[in-house]
Amino acid sequence: MKDLLIGLDVGTSALKAVLVSAEGRVLKTCAYGYSLARPMADHVEQQAEDWWTALVAAVRAVTSDIDAQRVRALGLSTQGGTLQPVDATGRPLCPAISWMDTRACTQEAAFKASIGDERMHAITGWAMCGGLNALQILWLKQNRPDIFQNTAKFLSVSSYLTLRLTGYAAVDRSNAGIEQLLDLQTGYWSDPIMETLGIDERRLANLVLAYDSAGTLTGEAAEALGLPADTIVAAGGHDQYCAALGAGAAANRDCLIATGTAWATLAMMDERPENLAAGASVSRHVAPALWGALFSLEGGSSLEWLRSVLRVSKEGEAFPYEQLNALAENSPTGAEGLTFYPFFSGAEYPPGLQKASAGFSGLRLSHDAGHMIRAVMEGVACQAAWMLEALNPEPGGTLIVTGGASKSALWTSILADITGRTLTLPSIPEAGCLGAAALAGTAAGVYTSPAEGVAQFAGERKLVEPSPNKERYVEVLERYQQGVSQMTLE
């Protein structure tokens, strides 16, 4: 009996997998990390082979104790905005250019001349950014013409992996939007953007729905994964929207903060939103007939940066996360005047901070590692709360938090106090995997819709209420916002 599904979340720093039964029981989970390379100051790259190696290891790990013939389908939840050029055989021609990469900032001038900032946002739903695929492709054309000319297809993480798994490069519209190559309104590749780049749709992936089947496993992929060749692969979608689906936020139009290397604040709606706060990104959802708007910030990456700086042993090992939390708990609310701004790649909100820099304000000799860790947690939470208010200004309401930070009692408490909202924490933090599994089940005909699949996965949820300490966080948020307002706007 083919009654099992696999959800895979291919993030920026790790791949996570969940094996579930069609009835919604979570049977096994695992995670495999991989690295980012920074060969130059503004270059951030990954190796596509690392995604594949982690995917193979994760699938084999979650199926090690069961009959793999029972696996019916797998689905993908992937980081967006990362570019992987491949040749006609599907072989990568260079390292993947990460969404965190900013080398293509100078290419914005060409788009501003041919399309313009406002029109680019109107077409794609995303503000012009040197770290997304359209400008990355133009950078290759102008700086690495050999790679540009030899590229058969410019792929994303999702389309590269569907090609590797099935032989068919597929991408859904939630991912195609962040690539800044999709016309959001028509749902097809944008002619004016392709004209500016000098490419046509034959050099891009095939557009599908997130819950469409991209095909079944090739013989080579089936052997590598240890799965039957008739395993169906769902195209999947952008990780933040898969997390919203998997956490149940899509069904109830709840707000969501998805935490990982990047944090995202999301609001869901039935129609394409108009008159949003400047800088908000709009996308078609992975769920049918649904739209979303989001802001993102460097949340987990900010704490990881500090963790890497605070080396505590002779071997140079970084603090374990449990120790980070313990040190921060010993620091008082507000970190004794220390404020952190998580702007390593600028800020999407408020407007005018695209070139802002990260840093501490109010740092004194009396501050120690605990103060710095707490300041990072509070700064990220302040920025997330500010962005959430811009997307959904109504006070109260359900706020779902997923991902790594939801495992931290301290960080979730800080977030509840700063937002003034009750947080709902799903029992499985990696909601992106569950969303991908629901898409896989829909593609395989196990469910009639992704919503039916997610309903099967609903489990116990933990609530985090704002504490009496929330009154003290009003001052912390005001201090944070005042510091941001004094930054140079460009």
DSSP assignment of 284-342 equals: E-SSTT-EEEEEEE--HHHHHHHHHH-B-STT-PBPPHHHHHHHHHTSPTTGGG-EEE-
- Superfamily (CATH) of domain 4-240: ATPase, nucleotide binding domain (3.30.420.40)
Any idea which residue has 């008082």 for tokens? 332
Residue 313: per-residue pLDDT: 52
Alpha carbon of residue 196 to chain centroid:
27
Alpha carbon of residue 390 to chain centroid:
20
**What's 37's DSSP letter?**
B
Q: Block means of pLDDT (10 residues each) for the chain, length 490 residues? A: 94 95 92 94 95 98 95 97 97 96 86 85 85 92 97 98 98 94 94 94 97 97 98 95 87 85 89 82 90 91 91 66 91 96 90 88 96 97 94 75 91 95 86 94 95 82 90 95 80
The CA distance from 95 to 44, in Å, is 9
Nearest Cα neighbor of 435 from 423, 421, 447, 420 is: 447
**In this structure, how many other beta carbons lie within 10 angstroms of the beta carbon of residue 284?**
27
